[in-house]
Amino acid sequence: MTSYQIALIPGDGIGGPVVDATWEVLGAAARQGGFTLEGTRFPWSCAFYRETGAMMPADGIATLRRFDAILLGAVGWPAEVPDSVSLHGLLLPIRKNFVQYANIRPHRLLPGVEGPLRATEFDILCIRENTEGEYSGAGGRVHGGTADEVAVETSIFTRKGVERILRFGFEQARRRRGKLASVTKSNAQKHSMVFWDEVTEQLAAEYGDVEVTRYHIDAMAARMVMAPESLDVVVASNLFGDILTDLGAAIQGGLGFAASANINPDRSAPSMFEPVHGSAPDIAHLGIANPIAAIWSGAMMLDHLGEAEAAAAVLRAVERTTAQGIGAVPGRHKTDEITRAVLQAMG
Ligand code: NAD
Ligand code: IPM
Ligand code: MN
């Protein structure tokens, strides 16, 4: 029997409950699919930081490298550890070290879920660059505390980085409805974003069968609200993709529904699966976190591992659950109730 080694990092806040829920559902999918998932839990989190002074051990990345995939809940507990410390100590180094350059985030309405828009027939696949750009961490501050203080944040865009994410987007578009939207702010940002446009045009010549449209990020934000059905694959830089995918989550009914896969397409290191949402400190102890975003991310993990049938079974169970109204309305059902319903729908 095929067995997969999965690293589980629940993290902070609602990360724990949504990872637990996902793990139960994936266990059922594995039993039905005739494979096994062996999970190893890592308590790396803000609580771990307070005990040890680090978000993960010094050999954390080396430890994770041995796994077939990583399932993560959420990282961040800003009341106790600054986000700049916790995220740069755990989540972001995993994405970067494992060259998970393609962050895939699907945005569509699950059956029974009422979004805030009149439009209901949209199916958007956001592809977010996940290793460089505005998240490079380069920069610094001078003249600290004086009236002349300056803070510089340098975005780094490499040809390799831009080309590979756009190529990934073109390939996805080819497999879907053949449309690619490339998002920049090249009217205002004259180096990186003009460069991005140039690479887009170069690749467009190679992918004659894909219809390419360039959008500015501001116009794209409006389009996702006004005409989401006009979009297929949307490719954006790290920061722009981050913002657009919370917007994508909103139009699909909320952050409780937005799934995400951090993919290393070359498979030279493990990929990581996590919901779009964070640790949600405001609801962390109420037992009402919607586990669907995490469960859907888990289905994406099964698909990545080559268990496409099991992945489809999980997504079908989620769809049957929301179609019955369970988990469809934010706050109405408890995490446990939604999880039980998905398990029941698995049969
Ligand atoms: P958040 O996504 O945690 O929460 C935003 C809002 O959405 C909150 O009102 C929250 O209650 C709600 N929400 C989120 N997920 C939900 C779910 N599954 N079910 C029901 N409601 C849900 O964003 P934030 O408040 O800006 O961030 C909180 C912490 O999480 C910060 O430390 C932040 O840096 C971190 N964060 C981590 C990740 C990650 O690990 N990938 C992602 C985003 C934010
Ligand atoms: C996400 C999150 C992270 C990001 C934060 C927590 C660093 O918002 O996964 O969308 O910006 O990538
Ligand atoms: Mn985000």
Reduce the secondary structure of 59-99 to three states and give it as a string: CHHHHHHCCCEEEEEECCCCCCCCHHHHHHHHHHHHHHHCC
According to the model, what pLDDT value does residue 313 have?
98
- pLDDT tens track for 279-289: 999 999 999 99
Average pLDDT, the chain: 98
Q: Which ligand neighbours the alpha carbon of 88 most closely?
A: 2
Q: How remote is the CA of residue 323 from the centroid of ligand 1, in Å?
A: 25
Q: Do 291 and 318 fall into the same domain?
A: yes
According to the model, what pLDDT value does residue 315 have?
98
Q: Do 244 and 258 fall into the same domain?
A: no
330 versus 82: the higher-pLDDT residue is 82
Distance CA 297, CA 138 (A): 30
185 catalytic, yes or no?
Answer: yes
Query: Where residue 50 falls among pLDDT bands split at 50, 70, 90?
Result: very high
179 catalytic, yes or no?
Answer: no
Of 287, 291, 311, 308, which Cα lies nearest the Cα of 299? 311
| Helices and strands, counts by H and E, the chain | 12, 12
Mean pLDDT of 170-194: 98
Query: Where residue 240 falls among pLDDT bands split at 50, 70, 90?
Result: very high
Give percent above pLDDT 90 in the chain.
99
Q: Do 110 and 190 fall into the same domain?
A: no
CA-based angle 65:70:72, to the nearest 5? 135
Q: Do 149 and 224 fall into the same domain?
A: yes
According to the model, what pLDDT value does residue 157 have?
98
According to the model, what pLDDT value does residue 180 have?
98
Which residues are found with C-beta within 5 Å of the ion, ligand 3? 242
According to the model, what pLDDT value does residue 124 have?
98
Q: Do 27 and 68 fall into the same domain?
A: yes
Q: Which helix (H) or strand (E) holds 152?
A: strand 150-156
Which of 251, 270, 300 is the last residue in one of the domains?
Answer: 251
Of 327, 301, 273, which Cα lies nearest the Cα of 30? 301
Q: Which ligand neighbours the alpha carbon of 332 most closely?
A: 1
Of 14, 7, 9, which Cα lies nearest the Cα of 55? 9
Domain that holds residue 308: 1-115+254-347
Which of 232, 251, 270 is the last residue in one of the domains?
Answer: 251
Query: Where residue 38 falls among pLDDT bands split at 50, 70, 90?
Result: very high
Q: Do 245 and 309 fall into the same domain?
A: no
Among residues 135, 207, 232, 303, which one is catalytic? 135
Q: How many domains does the chain have?
A: 2
Q: Are strands 133-142 and 150-156 parallel, antiparallel or unpaired?
A: antiparallel
CA–CA distances in Å: residue 112 to residues 120, 157, 245, 309, 328: 11, 41, 21, 23, 6
Residue 235 lies in a domain: yes
Pocket of ligand 2, beta carbon within 6 A: 76, 87, 91, 242, 276, 278
Q: Which ligand neighbours the alpha carbon of 246 most closely?
A: 3
Q: Do 277 and 307 fall into the same domain?
A: yes
Q: Decide if 338 contacts 327 (C-beta within 8 A).
A: yes
Provide the β-strand partners of residue 211: 179
Among residues 123, 197, 246, 336, which one is catalytic? 246
**What would you measure as the largest C-alpha separation in the chain, in angstroms?**
66
Q: Decide if 197 contacts 184 (C-beta within 8 A).
A: yes
How does DSSP classify residue 123?
E
CA-245 nearest atom, ligand 2: 10
